[in-house]
Structure 1
Amino acid sequence: MVESALSDSASDVFAALAELRKATRPQLAAACELSKPTVSTAVAELEALRLVERNGTAFGATGRSAAVYQLGPEAGYALAIDRGSTQVAYRVIGLDGRLLDEDHTDEPASAHAMIRTALRRRTRSGPLRAVVVAVSDVVTPTGRAGDPTIEQRIHTAVDALALPPGAPVRTENNVNCAAIAELHEGTGGSQDTFVYLQAGMAIGAGIVVNGKLIRGSNGAAGEVARLAYPWVDGQSAGHEALEARLGSPGLLRRVRARWSAEHGQVPESAHALFDLAEQDHSLAKVLVAEHAREIGKLAVSVCAVLDPGLLVLGGGVGGNPLLTAGIAATLAELSWPTEVVVSRLGDRATVLGATHLAREDGVRQVTLTAR
């Protein structure tokens, strides 16, 4: 582990090299807006700490050569984990963005063994600089009092992973992670303001404005499950009643209430219902169209407040293309012009977003020792 504090210039050079992956000293000088002598001193400092190392030589058009540098063995790596209720996925990434390892399990109870094996394989990858765990709960910002029940649930979920003692761990909401992935690697990257709307077992939204994730004062921005529902005379709004209706369990309750023997076997999952709709099953098509209309009304509520211009659909149900047309039609009828697209990242969005955050945290862990 690096114990010496880095100089400001060495911190800047390290961060630039992590972004560029490989670079010469002139390239680093341009990226950091530092003089070449300052960069040379910074590189020497980083080399002494094994944070960077030489990796070949580059030759220019005039025949002059320049040493090429990359991150060294003490730069370390970062770990991202998507701690879902039915699946746990992880990615291990170098601070220069190189993917070192990834895997997943459909048995969350055994995830700790998978993670432990993954970390054993990294004994020669340097120190573990940062861990980001994506969870399905609201993550309250540091310094604010959160819901004790939620806080305990998050601690229990993270503790079950049996991460190494002393590892720098940060938690982040899973939908927020998916929105970050869309910003950097997905459809959302075409615009710097958009909403990632997830519909599956639960519902949620990740909000990106001017290229920045909006978390909110309590970390609960985008928690659309808390929208008042129903909002009609004679009925009281319930706690997360909208999620109870629009989540997959609510959809399947409506399916069972409408299904009869003449329609064949009752679908046991939302995926099975959508498969039947794709096969032109008459009732399945009607139920999917109605659900698209319901999700569309949620999208209208979101767009009425944010007017993002782009809505990216994800999640176990929301990412199904069968919903896109119905949601777009509802928005066109009731809201402002809004482009509706399906996430290209699918169910990997959360772990990809967590990976981006973990790498950022890892670089910061090294560079901020100087600050």
Structure 2
Amino acid sequence: MFRSLVAGGPSTRPQIGEQLALSRPTMSASIGELERLGYVEKIGESQGSLGRKAALYRVGAGAGHVVAIDAGSTHVRLRVATLDHRLLHSRTYRLPTSHRLMNEEISRAVAEEFAAAATETEAGWGPLRAIGIALPSRVVGDGAERASTRQDELFTHFAPPAGPKLVLENNVNCAAVAENVYGVAQGRQDFAYIQIGLKLGMGLMLGGRLIRGRNGAAGEIGHLAYPFAPGHTPVAGEAETYLGTEALMQRVRDAWPEAPPPPPEDAGDLFARAEKDEVAAREQVERHAADIGALVASCVALVDPGLVVLGGGVGTSPLILPIVRKVANALSYAVSVETSSLGPDATVLGIEKLAVDRALDVVLAQPSP
């Protein structure tokens, strides 16, 4: 019953009873026990179809809350939420510089944002049950080789408090989770979320399961060797170097006409000018979209996900979607390509979902006082 309220939001006793096929006595006893623990609370009444009013319940303060943090390459996004995903507090911090790898600067920002959020804590939020942090790195469990993942760089400045469970996950995997729960891949058993921005990444869900791989490296498409061409030696990780925004902007500057206007300052400026049909900008964006389409085709050839969701600062641009669709379907098997409906919030919403899942295990494992 408690999981039903967490997943579905406020409900009446008849609604929960019908959904779970529970009798009225069982419903009454269960609601009473959950109310005693503070895990549910009555928030009003709902008018029934026969004119009767029914008490409306939601997850209570006693169930506690979670903190979700997207420790990104350009921003740190933080959400404090109840177990049924009601937002209690949020904050976003833009890093002074972009970082391709997990490092102590990101750790410092996480520590400062978490400390700032802690000062906003209210008694009505209940206990902190779990902290979820999405990292721009591979993530492996205890006992695995961790040095090369850089995941422990998180703890250079951030020291998690004792008590709440700590959940770590790769940021693109988190975005895939969010798309599956809330976004355009909702309910899909098989799909790939591909992030295109400063970095590349893929979160892969097959058979309803998030695929992580033995070394936490499943979906690390940025690590693909590139290029494959006569006279060239493939270099590990060169796919990300070539398709990332830093290399994109270098190509734009190198190819930009000498005549005014001057080249764009950054990727945001490039895409804004392309949207205004500035010829040189449009040509560069279309070429980059074709390159992304080729990358998507390679991913489709490997895992045949049926659906690819594009995310990230570049991936969510409406300018690239039709070209990526055309190129990907021309070069590989038939695939639907869509743009993320969650935008920059995908990762933090995904790690929040994983933190709530861990918090549920904690709450439901506690013995009744």
Q: Common fold, TM-score beyond 0.5?
A: yes
Q: Which moved more, 1:300-309 or 1:59-68?
A: 59-68
User: Within 5 Å, which residues of 2 pair with 1:326-345?
Assistant: 326-345=323-342
Q: Which moved more, 1:248-257 or 1:102-111?
A: 102-111
Query: Would the aligned equivalents of 1:263 and 1:283 in 2 still touch at CA under 8 Å?
Result: no
User: 1:57–1:305: structure 2 CA closer, same or farther, 3 Å change rule?
Assistant: same
Residue 354 (str. 1) matches residue 342 (str. 2): no
Provide the rounded CA distance (Å) in 2 between the counterparts of 1:272 and 1:68: 49
- Larger CA deviation: 252-261 vs 85-94: 252-261
Q: Taking structure 1 as reference, are residues 335 and 46 closer, same or farther at Cα in structure 2, changes over 3 Å only?
A: same
* Mapped partners of 1:290, 1:63: distance in 2: 62
Aligned to 1:45: 33
TM-score by length of 2: 0.87
SS of residue in 2 equivalent to 1:311: strand
Note if 1:279 corresponds to 2:276: yes
Matched ranges for 1:9-48 at <5 A:
13-48=1-36
8 Å contact kept, 2:191–2:305 = yes
Name the structure 2 match of 1:6.
none
Secondary structure of the equivalent of 2:281?
helix
1:23–1:313 distance in 2 versus 1, CA, 3 Å: closer
Q: Is the 8 A contact 2:198 2:246 kept in 1?
A: yes
Q: Tell me whether 1:215 sits opposite 2:232 in the alignment.
A: no
Residue equivalent to 1:129: 129
The one-letter amino acid paired with 1:261 is E
Shift of 1:26: 4.5
Instruction: Please give the alpha-carbon distance, in whole angstroms, between the structure 2 residues aligned to 1:70 and 1:278.
Output: 45
2:92, 2:358 → 1: CA distance? 22
> Is the partner of 2:88 in helix, strand or coil?
strand
Alignment of 1:81-120 (within 5 A): 81-107=69-95, 109-120=108-119
Matched, 1:231 2:228: yes
Contact 1:56–1:69 under 8 Å retained in 2: yes
Cα shift readout 1:273-307 (whole Å, capped 9, x = no counterpart): 22222233333222222211111111110111122
Residues 104 and 161 of structure 1: is their aligned pair in 2 closer, same or farther, counting only changes over 3 Å?
A: farther
Residue 262 of structure 1 aligns to a residue whose secondary structure is: coil
Report the counterpart of residue 148 of structure 1 in structure 2.
147
- Asked whether the 8 Å contact 2:76–2:94 carries over to 1, the reply is yes
Aligned-residue RMSD, C-alpha: 2.4
2:361 corresponding residue in structure 1: 364
Cα deviations by residue, 1:223-273 (Å, 9 ceiling, x for unpaired): 111223222344322121111111111112222322353253232311222
1:245 to 2:239 alignment: no
Unaligned runs of 5+ in 1: 1-12
Moved more, 288-297 or 109-118: 109-118
What is the number of equivalent residue pairs in this alignment?
A: 355
Distance 2:66 2:200 in 1: 29
Alpha-carbon distance in 2 for matches of 1:279, 1:57:
52
TM-score after normalising by structure 1: 0.86
Does 1:311 pair with 2:308? yes
Q: How does 1:251-266 map to 2 (within 5 A)?
A: 251-266=248-263
Q: Residue 68 of structure 1: CA displacement?
A: 4.0
State the Cα distance separating 1:319 from its structure 2 match: 1.3
Question: Aligned partners of 1:232, 1:312: CA distance in 2, in Å?
Answer: 29
Cα separation, 1, equivalents of 2:290 and 2:21: 52
Identify the residue that residue 4 of structure 1 maps to in structure 2: none
Alignment-mate amino acid for residue 203 of structure 1? L
Q: Distance in 1 between matches of 2:313 and 2:47?
A: 50
Residue identity over aligned pairs, in percent, reads 39
Contact 1:15/1:367 (<8 A) preserved: no
Alignment of 1:142-221 (within 5 A): 142-150=141-149, 153-158=150-155, 160-189=157-186, 191-221=188-218
Q: For structure 2, list consecutive stretches of 5 or more residues without a partner in the other structure.
A: 96-105
Matched residues in 2 for 1:345 and 1:305: separation?
26
1:148 partner amino acid: A
Counterpart of 1:9 in structure 2 is none
1:149 aligned partner, one-letter code? S
